[in-house]
Amino acid sequence: MATLFVLQGRDKGKRYDLREANVSLGRDHHCVVQVSDNEISRRHAEIRKDEQGYRLVDLGSSNGTFVNAEQVTERRLVNGDRVQLGRTLLLFTDADDRAEQPLEHGVDIVGTAAVEGSRIVKSVSHEPGSQLFAGDPADSPWLAAARSNLQLMYRTALAVSHTLDIDQLLARIIDMIFEWVEADRGCIMLIDHESNELTPVASRSRRGQSADQRIAISRTILDYVMERKEGVLTSDAPADDRWKSESIAALGIREAICVPMQGRYGVVGVIYIDTYTPPDRVLLAKPTNRFSEEHLKLMVAIGHQAALAVEDTSYYSAMLQAERLAAIGQTIATLSHHIKNILQGIRGGSYLIDEGLKADDNDVVRRGWRIVERNQERISNLVMDMLTFSKEREPELVAADLNETIGDVAELMKPRAEEAQVTLHWQPRTDLPPFQFDPDLLHRAILNVMTNAIDACEKREGARVEVSVEWSPGEQFVHIVVADNGEGIAEGDLKRIFSIFESKKGARGTGLGLPVSQKIMREHGGDIRVESTPGAGSRFYLELPAHGPQSIRSAETITMPTVS
């Protein structure tokens, strides 16, 4: 069965079900579809039903009949056609195309009669709605208060929610709506990006209402709201005073507000709320409309804000997701690369051992073994760095001897320094008190910086790495200084050396060393600073709080964009 819905004109909001075989349209009150429009004839047109569908026939009207802005004498109507008679615009829908869609939230989008006779009382577009915050002196005290609290409530809700989950966000928004507007039922529907259909995401009934009653929303109203981007207030109470009419008494009055959720980029969905005045209340007194234009204005503003919030969550979470995937992808690629190189090294050593054993040549075997050992060390460092990097770890602070920790690292680095022909010089200080730090973590932090220093000046003339401690009693920080006379770091690169996986050492560097060291120092409440002169050398200052952790800065492993 088809329906005519009045979109424009004095009868705006009215719906007519085309039950009869012939439906007359005109000014005359005998017409099935009586249109109060001076520019249409008494009997203006007719819609005739036949086996193929519906045909619109002009009955010789004075001003003509138009379908989709084209004048016609006769035209077969299809779903969605716009029929214009005089100043009245009607929408023709063929309900057969729009089957009822039962949806999980108890919301049905219907093409026909369930929302019989609702007319649009008022419509408000986005513009006035967003001006809500600017305020209007003519606003009632209620609206003024609502307005002044709306922004605050949104900020609070979003801040408190900590959630990027759209469902939770919308549930909160609908709760807020119920606090501010006396609705009986409400639901928020979002456009599903795959099907392009409106899908209910959150719904709610006020306590005391029959929760099993499904919300039936007219599709034509939804289409209207979505296309025109206007919020509408509908009521199925007739314009004139027919309170004593039986049908009203039997059904009560339902008022509804449906607003678009218009964001920055487009409409993301709709918010629907309604109230129901039962027949007994209708009969007791002439009830004033429970929904007013002010409610509509407020809802339009809420719809706008909700859309912004939804856009923020879905775009933001999509962005985060993309970033995470990209970061994971890069991590896997880089790690595989390093592991592959190490494996290659082990194969080299193994080959020598093999050949050496075959030829009974111990020197060859030993050479091979050294290569295998070195690569074991490399893999061990890689794994340790990965672990340190990935854990959000509280350092286990103990009172420990800084000289001893640094000395251990220097001892470990001696063979590497020798191989690289670098003079490694570590000067312990005799007047150091014990400090609070995690010896294992600090060991790793210093090791990575020292490794870097040695690599930086490898095989250069007079290559030298100096390690020392700078401290005086009463100072907030103690500094472990690693200075090299290597190639230095360009000004623009100074920050980048602490980003993960950016290594300038080609196949050898893992790119994890310095970021890990920085993370460790920050977890201790300190940091790493670097001064460098390209061509002359660099100085790394590992900063450790002298009196225990004061401000523990959180070490962020991935820089994330901030939520505005």
Q: State the alpha helices, DSSP H only, in 207-245.
A: 219-228
- Binding of residue 490 to other proteins (CB under 8 A): no
Q: Is 460 exposed, middle or buried (0-12, 13-18, 19+ CB in 10 A)?
A: middle
Between 15 and 338, CB nearer to other proteins = 338
Least gap, CB of 515 to other proteins (angstroms) = 21
* Nearer to other proteins among residue 361 and residue 394 (C-beta): 361
Decide: residue 406, CB within 10 A, 0-12 exposed, 13-18 middle, 19+ buried: buried
**Rounded to whole angstroms, how far apart are CA atoms 338 and 316?**
33
The nearer residue to other proteins, 149 or 350, going by C-beta atoms, is: 350
Q: Which is nearer to other proteins, 366 or 391 (CB)?
A: 366
Q: Tell me whether residue 279 or residue 348 sits nearer to other proteins (CB atom).
A: 348
What's the min distance (Å) between Cβ of 461 and other proteins?
17
CB of 163 to other proteins, least distance (A): 44
Name which position in 507, 536, 560, 563 contacts other proteins (CB under 8 A).
507
Give the footprint of other proteins on residues 350-389 (CB under 8 A): 350-351, 354
Q: For 287, which DSSP code? A: P
Distance of alpha carbon 256 from its chain centroid, rounded? Answer: 30
436 strand-pairing partners: 399
Closer to other proteins at the Cβ: 28 or 355?
355
Nearer to other proteins by Cβ, of 48 and 367: the residue is: 367
Distance CA 125, CA 299 (A): 11
Q: Which of 462, 473, 474, 506 binds other proteins (CB under 8 A)?
A: 506
Smallest gap from Cβ 344 to other proteins, in A, equals 4
Please work out the total of residues on this chain that contact other proteins, with binding judged by CB under 8 A.
10
Q: State phi, psi for 259 to the nearest 5 degrees.
A: -125, 150
Burial track 479-504 (b if 16+ CB lie within 10 A, e otherwise):
bbbbbbbbbbbeeeeeeebbebbebb
Nearest to 102 by CA among 199, 209, 211: 199
Within 11-40, which residues bind other proteins (CB under 8 A)? Answer: none
Site string for other proteins, 314-353 (x = CB under 8 A): --------------------------x--xx--xx-xx--
- Taking a C-beta distance cutoff of 8 angstroms, is the pair 47, 25 a contact? yes
Report, in Å, the least distance between residue 376 CB and other proteins.
16
DSSP string, 397-466: -EEE-HHHHHHHHHHHHHHHHHHTT-EEEE---TTPPPEEE-HHHHHHHHHHHHHHHHHHTTT-TT-EEE
Complex with other proteins: residue 127 or 419, whichever CB lies closer: 419
Give the residues lining the site for other proteins (CB under 8 A): 340, 343-344, 347-348, 350-351, 354, 506-507
